[in-house]
Amino acid sequence: MHITVRDHKTAGATGRPLVVPITGPLLTILQDARRRRPHARFVVTYRGNQIKSIRGGVKAAARAAGLTWGCFDEAGVTFHTMRHTMATLLAELSDADGLPALSESQRKAAMGHQRLETTQRYTHIRPTVERRVLERLGKVAPIVDVVTQARTRASRAPSTPQPELTKPTVGTSTGTREKSSTKTLGIPPLLRRGRGAQSTRRSS
């Protein structure tokens, strides 16, 4: 069984009716309404007349609970607050009934949203839920054991002396090598001699 709502908020954007399944608690409420007013044309009435909006009832209930009403106050409650509350309760449902947590796609479908981003914007995770998540993570991750275990300093291996950098001597066929300083490394000896010859000619 289900209820089909053709005139709803997002009908213009989606072009589709809103189909709501009739759950066990909802069926009990509808049966009780029929028992109380067997000849009424509408489920929810006020003084026997059709109710066009429940905004006034929500406003009265908020004030009776000591809550601030209105969107102009940061902590104010509006009719839309119930949508945010539902999205948050769906995210925390596993903490209440002990069953696996609902996926984001399941929560999106239950909210009747077309975009997942809308469901995420409506959901407000409370600090108590974040703490429980971190406590669960601490039980499966060996963070305490790693941090609190006795520390031992690792011994360093003796360093191996590095060989001196040498370069081959130009003009020899025996392959003998001579030590080279850092300043002259990479400059061929012939080039160095050529520079010296040029400087000698210039000075003369």
- Of 113-122, 175-184, 192-201, the range with the highest mean pLDDT is 113-122
Supply the pLDDT for residue 67: 87
- Cα gap 204→201, rounded to integer Å: 5
Question: Does the pLDDT of residue 180 top 80, yes or no?
Answer: no
What confidence tens digit (pLDDT) does each residue in 97-156 have?
888 888 999 999 888 888 899 899 999 887 777 787 788 888 888 777 778 887 766 666
- pLDDT at position 188 is 52
Q: Phi and psi (nearest 5°) for 46?
A: -130, 110
- Judged against a pLDDT cut of 70, whether residue 60 lies above it is answered with yes
Above pLDDT 70, what percent of the chain?
74
Label residues 8-43 b or e (16+ Cβ within 10 Å = b). Answer: eeeeeeeeeeeeeeeeeeeeeeeeeeeeeeeeeeee
CB 180, CB 165: distance < 8 Å: yes
Q: What pTM did the predictor assign?
A: 0.56
pLDDT surpassing 60 at residue 194: no
| Local confidence band at 184 (pLDDT 50, 70, 90 cut-offs) | very low
Whether the CB-CB separation of 79 and 54 falls below 8 Å is answered with yes
CB contact at 8 A, 90 and 107: yes
Q: Which tokens hold the place of 114?
A: 């077309």
Can you tell me the distance from the alpha carbon of 18 to that of 88, in angstroms, rounded to the nearest whole number?
21
Average of per-residue pLDDT values in the chain: 76
- Residue whose token pair is 């054991």: 145
Please say if the pLDDT value at position 50 is more than 90: no
Per-residue pLDDT of 27-45, as tens digits, reads 999 899 889 888 888 888 8
Q: What is the pLDDT of residue 137?
A: 82
In the prediction, which pLDDT does 197 show? 46
In the chain, the N- to C-terminal Cα span, in Å, equals 114
Task: Using alpha carbons, list the distances in angstroms from residue 71 to 52, 61, 79, 137.
Answer: 21, 16, 10, 38
CA dihedral 102, 108, 110, 114 (to 10 degrees): -160
Instruction: Put residue 93 in one of left, alpha, beta given phi > 0 → left and psi -120 to 50 → alpha.
Output: alpha
The conformation of residue 101, written as its DSSP 8-state character, comes to P
d(CA 119, CA 110): 10
What does the alpha-carbon distance between residue 30 and residue 43 come to, in Å, rounded to a whole number? Answer: 7
SS3 179: strand
pLDDT (average), residues 156-183:
55
